[in-house]
Every structure is written in C-alpha cells, then in structure tokens.
C-alpha cells in the first residue's frame, strides 16, 4: 500500500508511514511505547543514583564482562590448555577471580536492594528478575566447579550426586557426567544469565532506580537534581 504524494511537493506527507495497519507497525508502536530511547539512554539521573548500592551493581556488570570473556577463551582453548600452559592457568585464574568479584558485589547489591525495599513503586518485576539471576548464577558456578577436571571437581560431584538425586533432578542433571556439566556451564547457563542481566538492566532503565526510604517523591527529586545541577 502506497501513500498518495503530497500535491505541493510530489512526495508522501512527512510523518506518515506507508502502512500503519500491519503487524510490523503494531510491534514498532508497542516497542516505541514500552522502550522509549529517552528512558533507555537518559541524560539526567536522580542524585541517589550515586549510592554505593548502585555502584555495586555496576561493578557486578563489569565482573560479568570479564567472566564471559575469560570463559569464552577457556572454552575455545580446552581443558588441556588451562591445566598445562602458563597462559591457560593465568586465564583460568582470571576467570575464577572474576567469578568471585561477580558474586561478592552481586550479593552486596542484592542485600542493599533488599534492605532498601527495592521492589517499591512498581519495581517488583525488576527485583524478581534480580533474584532469579542470583539463583541461576549459583547453578552456573556449581557446574563450573564440576567442570574443573581435578580432584576438587570429583569430590564435589560425588558428594553432590546424592543430594541432587534426592530432589528428583538427578534424572535430568547428572553431576558426575563431565560432558553434560561442561556443556551446561559454557553454553546454556551463561546465555541464560546474560539474557536475564540484559532484561534486568532494561527494566532499571525503563522504571528508574528506586528512591531511598524517606526520600521525597519523584517530582520533588527532579527539583533537587536540577538545583544541584547533577546528572
């Protein structure tokens, strides 16, 4: 379907699409309403965004980047490389300590949001996704320990199999199967955690960060931020 050209200029009227009734137009309109660029990439933020609670969240994201980069390198080179070569052991140590930083600052961020009632003002979904990220990260780290191919991995697997079997998940989750644990750790679980983190960040961008307990309402926050000239 084409739009008749404008009589004066011979072109379609500005701001008029060729077809506003198709399914693509409907999806585009919904995305524009739900994901406005003004909210996704704001130029100003309330003053309380500088709180350490949110700094911990940013450090968690930075640690996740290093976890993914080092993990991809390890998965490409293979177990023999990270066990034998000097470079492999270095990247393996980088991966390990990145995971430790990821969990430390994620727990600090999670507890800070818990005590600050981060689910207030319509942000329950954002909070729930954060909790799911924490739970999925624990499972991902657990499969990482099982994929080490050393005595620690064997000891953890032997002691964990009875606990996993008692829950009924042993039929689908064999902790003594290295191939299964390695596949889950390098493919399925990291992709799931990364997608959840992206969703969490988008939710924070769209709904904004929760104001501290006892802080003024949002409209008063804007006045305070403007007065301080903060971003």
Given the candidates 3.40.190.10, 2.60.40.10, 1.10.375.10, 1.20.810.10, the CATH classification of the domain at 119-209 is 1.20.810.10
Cβ burial, residue 130 (10 Å; 0-12/13-18/19+): buried
- What are the boundaries of each domain within the chain? 49-116, 119-209
For residue 222, pLDDT beyond 60: no
Higher pLDDT, 43 or 169: 169
Question: What's this model's pTM, rounded to 2 decimal places?
Answer: 0.74
Lowest mean per-residue pLDDT among 34-38, 50-54, 180-184, 206-210: 34-38
Chain-wide mean pLDDT for the chain?
Answer: 82
Return the number of other C-beta atoms located less than 10 Å from residue 131's C-beta: 13
Lowest mean per-residue pLDDT among 55-59, 171-175, 194-198, 218-222: 218-222
pLDDT > 90 fraction of the chain, expressed in percent and rounded: 36
Cβ burial, residue 74 (10 Å; 0-12/13-18/19+): buried
Quote the pLDDT of residue 51.
79
Judge contact between 67 and 91, C-beta under 8 A.
Answer: no
pLDDT digits (tens, 9 = 90+) for 85-112: 999 999 999 999 999 999 999 999 999 8
How far is it, in rounded angstroms, from Cα 153 to Cα 160?
Answer: 10
The string of DSSP codes covering 101-116 is HHHHHHHHHHHHHHHT
| Dihedral-angle region of residue 48 (phi above 0 means left; psi in -120 to 50 means alpha; beta otherwise) | alpha
Contacts of 192 (CB under 8 A, 6+ apart): 136
For residue 157, pLDDT beyond 50: yes
Q: Within its chain, how far is the Cα of 227 from the centroid?
A: 33
Quote the pLDDT of residue 229.
46
């Amino acid at each position: 379907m084409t739009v008749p050209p404008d009589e004066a200029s011979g072109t379609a009227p500005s701001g008029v699409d060729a077809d506003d009734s198709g399914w693509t137009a409907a999806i585009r309109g919904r995305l524009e309403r739900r994901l406005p660029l003004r909210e996704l990439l704001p130029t100003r933020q309330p003053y309380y965004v500088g709180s350490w609670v949110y700094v911990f969240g940013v450090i968690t994201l930075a640690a996740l980047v290093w976890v993914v980069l080092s993990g991809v390198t390890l998965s490409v080179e293979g177990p023999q490389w990270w066990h034998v070569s000097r470079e492999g052991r270095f990247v393996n140590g980088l991966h390990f300590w990145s995971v430790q930083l990821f969990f430390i600052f994620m727990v600090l961020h999670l507890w800070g949001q818990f005590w600050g009632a981060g689910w207030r003002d319509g942000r329950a979904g954002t909070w729930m996704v954060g909790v799911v990220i924490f739970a999925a990260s624990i499972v991902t780290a657990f499969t990482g320990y099982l994929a080490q191919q050393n005595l620690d991995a064997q000891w953890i697997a032997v002691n964990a199999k009875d606990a996993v079997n008692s829950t009924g998940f042993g039929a689908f989750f064999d902790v003594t199967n290295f191939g299964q644990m390695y596949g889950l750790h390098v493919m399925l679980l990291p992709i799931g955690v990364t997608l959840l983190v992206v969703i969490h960040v988008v939710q924070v961008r769209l709904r904004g960060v929760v104001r501290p307990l006892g802080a003024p309402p949002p409209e008063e926050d804007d006045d305070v931020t403007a007065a301080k000239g903060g971003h």
